[in-house]
Structures are given as C-alpha cells and as structure tokens.
Amino acid sequence: MPAVVRLFRVPLAALSACLLAACVTAPIDNTAPPAERHFADTFLLSGRLSASDGTQSASGRLEWQREAEVDRFTVSSPFGQIVARLDAGPAGAELTLMDGQHLYAERAADLLPRLFPGIANNTLPPERLAAWTQAAPPPDAEVRTRDAQGRPRRVIDQGWIVDYLDYSNDAPDAAPRRIDITRGDAHLRLLIDRWAAP
C-alpha cells in the first residue's frame, strides 16, 4: 500500500459523516448572468482535503504554490506531519515521500494519485485543477448551474463533476471555500482555508 495512503487513511464511515456535516448548499439560479471571474496563474492555496474511491479514504492538509508553469504540492497528515511533496514543471515532476523515496514522471498528472489516494484510476489534470479551485473553468468546460451571484455551482469538465458548495463571501469574484470533485467512484473534497494571488 502506498505510504501516502497509509499515513493519513481514515475510516470511510467517519469521512462520510464529516463530508455530510460540511455540506452547505448555496442558492441556485440558472437564470443569473455569469459573474466575471479571472484565472490567476500564480497563487498560494492552503486547506484541507479528503479523498475516497468507495473502498479506501484519506484526509489531510494541502498547500499548493503555483507560479506560471511550476507547481509545488505539499500534503501533510491531519497532525501536521509532511507526508509528501510534489514539484512539477516543464522539465517533469518529482514526488518526494516522507521516507525519502523519490518518484519521477514526465507529467504531474502521473504522480497526483500518490498525493490524492482514491483517484488512481482517473487522470486528474493539474492545469484543470488550478482553474477548478478558482471557479474559473476553462472555455471548453460546461457550466451546468450557477448560484444567485452568477458564480459556477456545478461544472462538467473532461468527465469530472465539480460542485461548488460554498464561497468565501457573497462577492461575484469570491474564492471558492468548499469544492467537491467527482468522477465515478473517485471523490475529492477540498476545503480552502487560505487563498492568495498577486
């Protein structure tokens, strides 16, 4: 079993209860005009994540620093111990585990399943993930519903369903606060505690 899974695995029942407790449904208004939202290619995001594939689950903390085409993902256990770090850029991607093991790949997408257990059978594209975390979906994504402020409520993108359960405030350009990302049995939830962009 991968070290990342082993170190911050939690019982599925406990995770499900936690997810249900965190759900806050924003008002939906399919007639609202789209809010003006901008994509930031440089940002710092920190928050909590949970992942499940229906049989195993994991939770922990995530810090994601993105600058142009370079990404650094740092995943920690719920107790603050660093579990893994993924550095990715045009030259390739390197995953460092807490036991000192190093894994290499041409693309970050090939190593992300080691950070987010439960998505091993799905390709989670980092470029799309950057847009999803900002509720600024790519032009070829489908915005199914919007909330009363015109912000995305549900987005379908490359087979993934992205649900925005809560935003940080009521402003049209507010950062998302709670995001559910699903595809088949894969389920990733992100609770953003801090978002900063130049």
Taking the C-alpha atoms of 157, 43, 180 and 150 in order, what is their torsion angle to the nearest 10 degrees?
-70
The burial of 37, by beta-carbon neighbours within 10 Å (0-12 exposed, 13-18 middle, 19 or more buried), is given as middle
CA quadruple 170, 176, 182, 187: dihedral sign: negative
pLDDT of residue 133: 95
33 close to 150: Cβ distance less than 8 angstroms: yes
Listing DSSP states for 118-176 in one string gives T-TTS---HHHHHHHTTT---TTSEEEEEBTTS-EEEEEETTEEEEEEEESSSSTTPPE
Cα separation, 68 vs 23, in Å, equals 32
Cα separation, 63 vs 106, in Å, equals 22
pLDDT digits (tens, 9 = 90+) for 116-168: 765 655 567 778 889 999 999 999 999 999 999 999 999 999 889 999 999 99
State the average pLDDT over residues 165-193. Answer: 93
Judge if pTM exceeds 0.75.
yes
pLDDT digits (tens, 9 = 90+) for 43-95: 999 999 988 877 777 889 999 999 978 999 999 988 889 989 999 998 999 99
pLDDT of residue 65: 95
Compute how many other C-beta atoms are within 10 angstroms of the C-beta atom of residue 72.
15
CA angle 107, 137, 39 (to 5 degrees): 85
143 close to 34: Cβ distance less than 8 angstroms: yes
Number of H helices, E strands in the chain: 4, 11
Cα separation, 162 vs 74, in Å, equals 22
Domain ranges of the chain: 3-196
Q: Does residue 65 or residue 6 have the better pLDDT? A: 65
Topology of domain 3-196, CATH: outer membrane lipoprotein receptor (LolB), chain A (2.50.20)
